[in-house]
Homo-oligomer: A and B are copies of this chain.
């Protein structure tokens, strides 16, 4: 059994890692840290896990936890991650980092959107942990930068079109909607039940959300040219789920059947990407609790635009599930281990 450490186990992403790994045949969690709940059984914080997982939260600062596991997930905020990851690597461990700290290859871009970087020497080495794009590199890396939730939905949705240069990148509009778990488990008025329920709103409108540089980095690589995206996130009154609706002008005369064939070709061997049949479109409730990314396509002949819709569970394929997928690759396990459960519906 591979011994797993989870740094930051008590957030929604951390506990979802714990939930997934509790059903993973090849690993056991031997360390799990939480500043806030040090000394507490995780099942006292999350009663859902009682009887499923017997972990006590460790203090991340207090001890030599690096020795107590072989492989680490860092599920802490950006900036906190870069304080921890280098020492884990130095101790010879492999790491999937779920923060933003190692996603951007260009330190200048990182520092423009976040703050100074204290271990930028690792940026060249870190692999962007989107297995559908970088499977081989992930297999060989010791540090995978797990993608953001929004970027996962966007990049998987657009990759085939951009690679084949079928759309005009300058016309790209991305309208995304996320469940509230994406805001984390901190006490805050803005995410109280009464503020979110029976409502809907955009936030960080106007090109200011921090997932933008990450999308642009990856979409630009796919397109072979620089891309600047229009991206607007919205807050959904659901716990789990991201749905991205993406619009772009067609750059070639192509019909919907041909686009479908392209997507089928691209994703046929990908277990976690499901292409909706023609005429069908994704829904977040159909991926809930699973590592799937569902993609649907429509063509608006009247405007010459293609509309790509993708849906994921933001804390599975958008965070913890994808992190386990990366861990599987980095350790030579079958890629779907621990991730084969069907979505929960209703």
* A interface residue numbers (CB < 8 A to B): 12, 15, 19, 22-23, 44, 46-53, 171, 173, 175, 177, 180-181, 185-189, 191-203, 205-207, 228-230, 232, 234, 236-241, 243, 245, 247, 271, 274, 276-277, 280-290, 292, 294, 296, 298-303, 305, 307, 309, 311, 340-346
Contact A200–B51 (Cβ < 8 Å): no
Q: How far is the CB of A98 from chain B (nearest CB, A)?
A: 17
Looking at A19, A238, A280, A345, the one whose CB has the most chain B CB atoms below 10 A away is A345
Question: Is A49 within 8 A of B342, CB to CB?
Answer: yes
Q: Is the CB of A48 within 8 A of B286?
A: yes
Closest chain B residue to A241, Cβ basis: B200
**Residue contact B240 to A283, C-beta cutoff 8 Å:** no
Residues of chain B within 8 A (CB-CB) of A186 are 189
B197 pairs with A239, CB closer than 8 A: yes
Residue from A180, A189, A238, A239 whose CB has the most chain B CB atoms within 10 Å: A239
Which of A198, A237, A245 counts the most chain B CB atoms within 10 A? Answer: A198
Q: A48-B285, A173-B247, A345-B46 are in contact. Are A230 and B198 (CB under 8 A)?
A: no
- Which residue of chain B lies nearest to A315 when distances are taken between CB atoms in the complex? B346
User: A298: which B residues are within 8 A, CB to CB?
Assistant: 205-206
Contact residues in B for A300 (Cβ distance below 8 Å): 206-207, 230
Contacts A181-B194, A192-B192, A194-B12 given; does A285 touch B201 at CB 8 Å: yes
Given contact pairs A171-B171, A236-B237, a sample of 5 additional A-B residue pairs in the complex whose CB atoms are under 8 Å apart: A23-B341, A50-B274, A186-B189, A195-B346, A205-B309
Q: Is the CB of B47 within 8 A of A276?
A: yes
Q: A177-B177, A305-B230 are known contacts. Are A192 and B185 too (CB-CB below 8 A)? A: yes
By a CB distance below 8 angstroms, the chain B residues around A46 are 286, 345
Q: How far is the CA of A85 from the CA of B336 in the complex (A)?
A: 38
- Chain B residue contacts of A53, Cβ below 8 A: 342
Residue of A175, A230, A236, A237 with most chain B CB atoms under a 10 A cut-off: A175
Instruction: Indicate if the CB atoms of B283 and A181 lie closer than 8 Å.
Output: no
A29 to chain B, nearest CB (A): 12
Would you call B286 and A289 a contact (CB within 8 A)?
no
Question: Nearest B residue to A273 by beta-carbon distance?
Answer: B51
Which of A281, A285, A292 counts the most chain B CB atoms within 10 A?
A285
B-chain residues with CB within 8 Å of residue A303 when the two chains form the complex = 207, 228-230
Q: Is the CB of B51 within 8 A of A283?
A: no
**Most B Cβ at <10 Å: residue of A192, A283, A305, A345:** A192
B241 engages A302 (CB within 8 Å) = no
7 inter-chain pairs at a CB distance below 8 angstroms, sorted by A residue, are A185-B189, A193-B197, A200-B236, A200-B238, A201-B282, A207-B303, A230-B305
Contact A199 B23 (CB under 8 A): no
Q: B187–A187 contact, CB under 8 A?
A: yes
